Amino acid sequence: MAISKKQQEEFKKLFDVIVNNVEQTLFGKRHVVELVLATMIAEGHVLLEDVPGTGKTAMARAIAESMEMKYSRIQFTPDLLPTDITGIDVYNQKKETFEFQEGPIFANLVLADEINRASPKTQSALLEAMEERHVTVGKVRRTAGLPFLVIATQNPIEQGGTYPLPEAQLDRFMIKTSVGYTDPNSTVEILKGTAQITKNLSAVAKGSDVLTLSALAREVIANESVLRYIVDIVEATRQAKQIRVGSSVRGARNLTKLAKTWALTKGRNYIIPDDVKELATHVLAHRIILKPEAEFDGVKTEQVIAQVLDSITPPTGNFEV
């Protein structure tokens, strides 16, 4: 199904309206908000690696409020159990039967705060929901939510008493990014509002709109030359001397899906190489494992992805077909 000009305009208009609404809460971080919202439309999940106090929780809540979505926040701690996330069957004495009590995973937007503070067993309770949008408790499979987005956070500085996310779970996140500190002018605007009571944002869209936008994004044109460009980038991560394990095929698929959504946010119904270059670090950097000697030398995965992008000549020509 070809995307009409009107559909492109409606997509961009609604996307911008939601981003503008969220910006009322998160000053000066438009690009991050766009990335997170685009990831949700592309049916992915987000890992935010940031120091405390940068607005991660505020952004997650603002996105949920802007779209009238069910929101839940899970504070990960060492004593958190998998059933604290998924829910559990509880015996009802009056009815003499077991009843399922839903856990916080049954929402549209789930904030997994400080995910690396819980044990690997508890972290893994998110895996099925993130991949399949379902949760199995006992022998019963239940739908987590539609739309469904997990935003997980972790502090890159404070590592005492934490459990690093295993590679298999890192690979489930479509992007890894950070909010970062606000610029001085934005910080002044935040301070002006410190005396005000925090109010809920007015909704400007509905959760069901995400499903409509997702369906449109799937129809964006991905020219074979651009797809070959994505494959070349992923293949180069596997051949780079500093990398022990390169990106998986899931990385290539996620980069393609997010690039399709990103193209629509720019008012196009086709991907261009610049979309891929802009998103590659966010999608691929957390999927590769450096060799020990590279880590010892202080090399960052983001630097390696940048080198890979510089080494590959992007395609040229008409990308609309």
| Pair (282, 166) in one structural domain | no
| Pair (215, 255) in one structural domain | no
Q: Which amino acid is at 287?
A: R
| Pair (302, 266) in one structural domain | yes
What would the pLDDT profile of 26-75 be if each residue is shown by its tens digit?
888 899 999 999 999 999 999 998 877 778 888 999 999 999 999 999 99
According to DSSP, residue 124 is labeled G
Tokens of 265: 């946010």
pTM for this entry:
0.91
Tokens of 124: 């893994």
> What pLDDT does 315 receive?
94
Percentages helix, strand, coil for the chain (3-state, rounded to 5) are 45, 15, 35
The total number of structural domains in the chain stands at 2
What would the pLDDT profile of 187-198 be if each residue is shown by its tens digit?
787 777 654 545
| Pair (214, 230) in one structural domain | no
| Pair (135, 35) in one structural domain | yes
What is the residue range of 283's domain?
Answer: 221-313
Q: Give the largest CA-CA distance in the chain.
A: 71
Across the chain, mean pLDDT equals 89
Residue 26 CA: distances (Å) to CA of 53, 75, 214, 305: 12, 21, 24, 28
Helix (H, G, I), strand (E, B) or coil at 183: coil
Nearest of 148, 173, 153 to residue 251 by alpha carbon:
173
Tokens of 150: 């997990």
CA geometry: angle 216, 174, 52, nearest 5 deg: 120
**Cα four-point dihedral sign 124, 125, 129, 135:** positive
DSSP collapsed to 3 states, 2-13:
CCCHHHHHHHHH
| 10-residue stretch averages of pLDDT, the chain, 321 residues long | 86 95 86 96 93 84 94 93 90 85 93 91 86 84 89 80 81 91 78 62 92 95 95 93 90 96 95 96 93 89 93 90 74
> What pLDDT does 161 receive?
64
Tokens of 119: 């044990």
Residue 289 in any domain: the answer is yes
| Pair (123, 165) in one structural domain | yes
> What pLDDT does 197 receive?
47
Angstrom distance (rounded) from CA 111 to CA 310: 35
| Pair (68, 84) in one structural domain | yes
